[in-house]
Structure 1
Amino acid sequence: MRKIALSVGLAAVATAGLIAASPAATAAEAGTQATACFTLWQTAGYNDGSRSFSGNDNDFGNNNWSNGKKSNDDANSGKNACSHRVYLYANSNYGGQSYYLQANSSDSDFGNNSFSNKASSLNGF
């Protein structure tokens, strides 16, 4: 009887060890999505098409505004509700001239910072 109890106890400990060693599920695996905290607009003053981001995007070439138009090299205003800076780049793969929006900030006219119609990639997430 002691051997059976010992065997059952060891099996329980081994199983618990395997369960405890399992990695936690990521947000994507758990079916949740990161909240989009950064939004770009097609025109100054937060007008026309928009696009929100919850992660890095190394190439806007395949992106469209909410109105269906292509968004590459076409952003003119943005709002950053994230708790960190978000960087925009003139070229895909985070290359070329860059411009960033501070955490919890907005810019209604990228032209004031010589960045109108230039954004091709974004990172900071």
Structure 2
Amino acid sequence: MERKILNELSSIMMDSWNQIKGYNEVKDRLKRTLGRKSISNWTKEFAAFLDTLPEEEKKNKPIYTAIFVMALLKRNLDEGEQVRKYIKKYNLVSLLYGGLSILTKGTSQKFALNITWSYNSFQNKYEF
């Protein structure tokens, strides 16, 4: 796997989260980026990519793993069992948990969910 593919996956996921792109456009971009390769091939390439990271980037392994797995699941949610099988086979589960933890805690400025409370946006608090 090349860095430009991971950057593209990151861009696609961010566009999806921020609702910059529509659902169909995101799906099309994922299909163009990931192509017709199987999950086993992508996971094998991704594990090899992580092994070749320079020392200063090794701390980003959990973030890269979370982006990669979310992109695979976004491409086809029906293949969740296959994703789980290969993530486990290549020992990426702990990295995935770490990446999702970083995402939900918001400890990274570049990789975080920003949630705002919209309680005061309604005049009638019981009407949505």
Question: Is the TM value for this pair above 0.5?
Answer: no
TM-score, L = length of structure 1: 0.25
- Structure number, greater radius of gyration: 1
| Larger helix fraction of residues | 2
| Larger strand fraction of residues | 1
